[in-house]
Amino acid sequence: MLLDTFGRQAVDLRVSLTDRCNLRCTYCMPEEGLQWLAKPDLLTDEEIVRLVTLAVRDLGVREVRFTGGEPLLRPGLVAIVAACSELEPRPELSLTTNGIGLARTATALREAGLDRVNVSLDTLDPEVFFTLTRRRRHQDVLEGLAAAEAAGLAPVKLNSVLMRGVNDHEAADLLAWCLERRYELRFIEQMPLDAQHGWDRSSMVTAEEILELLRTRFQLTPEPSARRGAAPAERWVVDGGPGRVGVIASVTRPFCRACDRTRLTADGQVRNCLFATGETDLRTALRSGADDAELAALWRAAMWGKKAGAGIDEPEFHQPERPMSAIGG
Q: Which residues are annotated as a binding site for [4Fe-4S] cluster?
A: 21, 25, 28, 256, 259, 273
pLDDT at 227: 64
Q: Is the pLDDT of residue 249 over 90?
A: no
The predicted structure's pLDDT at residue 324: 55
Q: Give me the numbers of helices (H) and strands (E) for the chain, helices first please.
A: 10, 12
Q: What is the pTM of this model?
A: 0.89
* Whole-number Å distance between alpha carbons of 95 and 14: 9
Which pLDDT score is estimated for 232? 81
Q: What is the pLDDT of residues 92-145, one digit of tens each?
A: 999 999 999 999 999 999 999 999 999 999 999 999 999 999 889 999 999 999
What pLDDT score was predicted for residue 327? 59
Q: Residues forming the annotated binding site for GTP?
A: 14, 65, 96, 157, 261-263
In a 13 Å sphere around the CA of 155, the CA atoms on its Cβ side amount to 14
Binding site feature residues for S-adenosyl-L-methionine: 27, 69, 120, 191
Angle at 92 between CA 23 and CA 103, to 5 degrees: 35
Q: d(Cα 166, Cα 39) in Å, to the nearest integer?
A: 36
Contact 13, 309 (CB under 8 A): no
Give the residue numbers of the binding site. 14, 21, 25, 27-28, 65, 69, 96, 120, 157, 191, 256, 259, 261-263, 273
Each residue of 261-287: pLDDT tens digit? Answer: 999 999 999 999 988 888 999 999 999
| Omega cis (within 30) before 89 | yes
How many residues would you count in the chain?
Answer: 329
pLDDT of 320 > 60? The answer is no
Chain mean pLDDT for the chain: 89
**In the prediction, which pLDDT does 159 show?**
96
Residues 38-90 pLDDT 10s: 899 999 999 999 999 999 999 999 999 999 999 999 999 999 999 999 999 99
Asked if residue 198 has pLDDT above 70, the reply is: no
Helix (H) or strand (E) holding 106, with range, is: helix 102-112
216-244 pLDDT, tens digit per residue, is 999 999 988 756 666 788 999 999 989 99
pLDDT digits (tens, 9 = 90+) for 142-194: 999 999 999 999 999 999 999 899 999 999 999 999 999 999 999 999 876 64
The answer, yes or no, to whether residue 199 has pLDDT greater than 90, is no
Using pLDDT thresholds of 50, 70 and 90, give the confidence band for residue 213: very high
